[in-house]
C-alpha cells in the first residue's frame, strides 16, 4: 500500500511533533479539539480511513468495527493497553491492531512510588494546609505517616511495569512479593529479591501495600473483589495505576469509609474518569486524573511507535507492535 495515498484518522490531539510527522508521511486527518470523538464521529472515521489512530478514551467495539469500510486495515493504538479495542472482531475482519508497548513502563512505575509516598506520608494533607495558610508551625505529632522501608509490597502483575516498580521499591528498602500468571525466571526473581505467591489470597492477606499492575481482561475484572479486599490488613494501602476495572471500586470505597483499609492511591477508576464521588473527600485517598504515563518524553515515544507501526504497514509489512491473541 502506498503511504502517499494512505488515509489516517487520529481521534485525539497528539503532541505537535507527532502530528507534524504524521502530516509529512500520510494523508492524515487530525483532531482540532482535544475532546473525545462522539460515536457518530468514530463511525465516520472507520468508514473513511485506511488507518485509525485511537486512544484509551475511544471504545472500538464489535459494533463500531462492524461499520468499518473496506479500506480500514489497521488500528494503530496510541497507548499500550488495548482492552478498549475488540481485537478478536478486528482480526476476523482482517484488520490489524498495533499498540505502543514498553513506552510507559518507567513513567508509570515512578507514579506508583509517588502514590505510595503520597498516601503513606500524607503529602496531600500537608499541601492542603500550606495552600490554605492554616499551618501553625512544626509539632512533634503533626502529620505523622509511616516509612516505606521494611514494608511488604505485593505486586499484582509482574510484567514490565511491575518489575520496574519492584526495582524502585527495592531501593526504598521494601520487601518485594508478587503474584503473576506465570512465575518469573529465577535470575529475575533473584535480581529483584522478589518472592512469588501462587495464591493471590495468601499474598494479599500479608501485604502492607498492594500495587495493581495487571491489565484489564475478562479474567482480571474485579480480581480484587469485596471478598479479596477483606483479606487485606486494616493497616494496608492499595495503589492502582493499571485499570480501574480490576478493583471493585464500591467495595473499596466502603472499606475505606469504615476504616478497614489505611488508604488508597488511585490513578484509574472503574467507570472511566468518574471515580466514586465519596472517595474525593477522604483524607487518606489520593486521586489523580490518569497521569501515570503523562510525561512529555513518554507521549513523544508513543507517537514515534505509532508512526513506525503505520509506516511499516504502509510499506507492506506487519507492524512491529502488532497485537496478537497470545499477548492479551
pLDDT the model gives residue 326 = 52
Residue 324 has pLDDT above 90, yes or no: no
* Residues spanned by the domain of 81: 3-103+295-327
Do 49 and 137 fall into the same domain? no
The pTM is what?
Answer: 0.89
For 32-89, the pLDDT digits (tens) are 988 999 999 999 999 999 999 999 999 999 999 999 989 999 999 999 989 899 999 9
Query: How many folded domains does the chain comprise?
Result: 2
Q: Tell me the C-alpha distance between 222 and 264, whole Å.
A: 16
Residue 2 has pLDDT above 50, yes or no: no
Average pLDDT score, the chain:
95
Do 89 and 124 fall into the same domain? no
Q: Tell me the C-alpha distance between 27 and 234, whole Å.
A: 56
Do 247 and 316 fall into the same domain? no
Confidence of residue 323 (pLDDT cuts 50, 70, 90): very high
Q: Tell me the C-alpha distance between 212 and 224, whole Å.
A: 9
- Domain at 194, CATH number: 3.40.50.720
Mean pLDDT on 250-258? 97
Residue 327 has pLDDT above 50, yes or no: no
For 94-135, the pLDDT digits (tens) are 999 999 999 999 999 999 999 999 999 999 999 999 999 999
pLDDT the model gives residue 274 = 80
Residue 328 has pLDDT above 70, yes or no: no
Residue 21 has pLDDT above 70, yes or no: yes
For 83-149, the DSSP string reads: TTB-HHHHHHTT-EEE--TTTTHHHHHHHHHHHHHHHHTTHHHHHHHHHHT------TTTT----ST
**Element holding 155 (H helix, E strand):** strand 152-156
295: exposed, middle or buried (Cβ count in 10 Å: 0-12, 13-18, 19+): middle
Q: Tell me the C-alpha distance between 65 and 45, whole Å.
A: 11
Do 160 and 137 fall into the same domain? yes
Q: Tell me the C-alpha distance between 22 and 16, whole Å.
A: 10
89: exposed, middle or buried (Cβ count in 10 Å: 0-12, 13-18, 19+): middle
Mean pLDDT on 271-279? 88
Do 214 and 190 fall into the same domain? yes
Residue 266 has pLDDT above 90, yes or no: yes
For 181-233, the pLDDT digits (tens) are 999 999 999 999 999 999 999 999 999 999 999 988 899 999 999 999 999 99
Helices (H), the chain: 16-25, 39-48, 62-66, 87-92, 105-120, 123-132, 160-171, 186-192, 200-204, 226-229, 249-257, 296-314
Q: Residue 101: phi, psi to the nearest 5?
A: -70, 150
For 307-317, the pLDDT digits (tens) are 999 999 999 99
Do 109 and 92 fall into the same domain? no
Do 239 and 321 fall into the same domain? no
pLDDT the model gives residue 325 = 65
Cα end-to-end distance, the chain, whole Å: 28
Do 282 and 179 fall into the same domain? yes
Do 78 and 118 fall into the same domain? no
- Of 247, 240, 203, residue with least CA distance to 226: 247
The fraction of the chain above a pLDDT of 90, given in percent, is: 92
Rg (CA), the chain: 22
pLDDT the model gives residue 217 = 87
Do 95 and 117 fall into the same domain? no
CA angle 201, 202, 203 (to 5 degrees): 95
Amino acid at each position: 500500500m502506498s503511504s502517499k495515498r494512505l488515509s489516517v484518522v487520529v481521534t485525539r490531539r497528539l503532541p505537535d511533533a507527532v502530528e507534524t510527522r504524521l502530516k509529512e508521511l500520510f494523508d492524515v486527518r487530525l483532531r482540532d479539539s482535544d475532546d473525545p470523538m462522539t460515536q457518530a464521529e468514530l463511525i465516520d472515521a472507520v468508514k473513511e480511513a485506511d488507518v485509525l489512530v485511537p486512544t484509551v478514551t475511544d471504545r472500538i467495539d464489535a459494533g463500531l468495527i462492524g461499520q468499518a469500510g473496506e479500506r480500514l486495515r489497521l488500528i494503530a493504538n496510541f497507548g499500550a493497553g488495548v482492552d478498549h479495542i475488540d481485537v478478536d472482531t478486528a482480526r476476523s475482519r482482517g484488520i490489524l491492531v498495533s499498540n505502543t508497548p514498553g513506552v510507559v513502563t518507567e513513567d508509570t512505575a515512578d507514579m506508583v512510588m509517588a502514590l505510595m509516598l503520597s498516601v503513606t506520608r500524607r503529602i496531600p494533607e500537608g499541601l492542603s494546609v500550606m495552600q490554605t495558610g492554616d499551618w501553625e508551625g512544626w509539632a512533634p505529632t503533626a502529620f505523622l505517616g509511616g516509612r516505606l522501608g521494611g514494608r511488604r509490597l505485593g505486586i499484582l502483575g509482574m510484567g514490565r511495569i511491575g518489575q520496574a516498580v519492584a526495582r524502585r521499591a527495592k531501593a526504598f528498602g521494601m520487601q518485594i512479593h508478587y503474584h503473576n500468571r506465570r512465575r518469573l525466571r529465577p535470575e529475575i526473581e533473584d535480581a529483584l529479591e522478589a518472592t512469588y505467591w501462587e495464591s493471590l489470597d495468601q499474598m494479599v492477606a500479608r501485604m502492607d501495600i498492594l500495587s495493581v499492575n495487571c491489565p484489564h481482561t475478562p479474567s482480571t475484572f474485579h480480581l480484587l473483589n469485596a471478598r479479596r479486599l477483606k483479606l487485606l490488613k486494616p493497616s494496608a494501602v492499595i495503589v492502582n495505576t493499571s485499570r480501574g476495572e480490576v478493583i471493585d471500586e464500591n467495595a473499596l470505597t466502603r472499606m475505606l469509609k469504615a476504616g478497614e483499609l489505611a488508604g488508597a492511591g488511585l490513578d484509574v477508576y472503574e467507570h472511566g474518569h468518574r471515580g466514586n464521588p465519596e472517595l474525593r473527600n477522604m483524607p487518606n485517598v489520593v486521586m489523580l486524573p490518569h497521569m501515570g504515563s503523562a510525561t512529555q518524553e513518554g507521549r513523544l515515544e508513543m507517537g514515534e511507535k505509532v508512526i513506525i507501526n503505520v509506516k511499516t504497514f504502509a510499506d507492506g509489512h506487519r507492524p512491529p507492535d502488532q497485537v496478537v491473541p497470545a499477548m492479551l
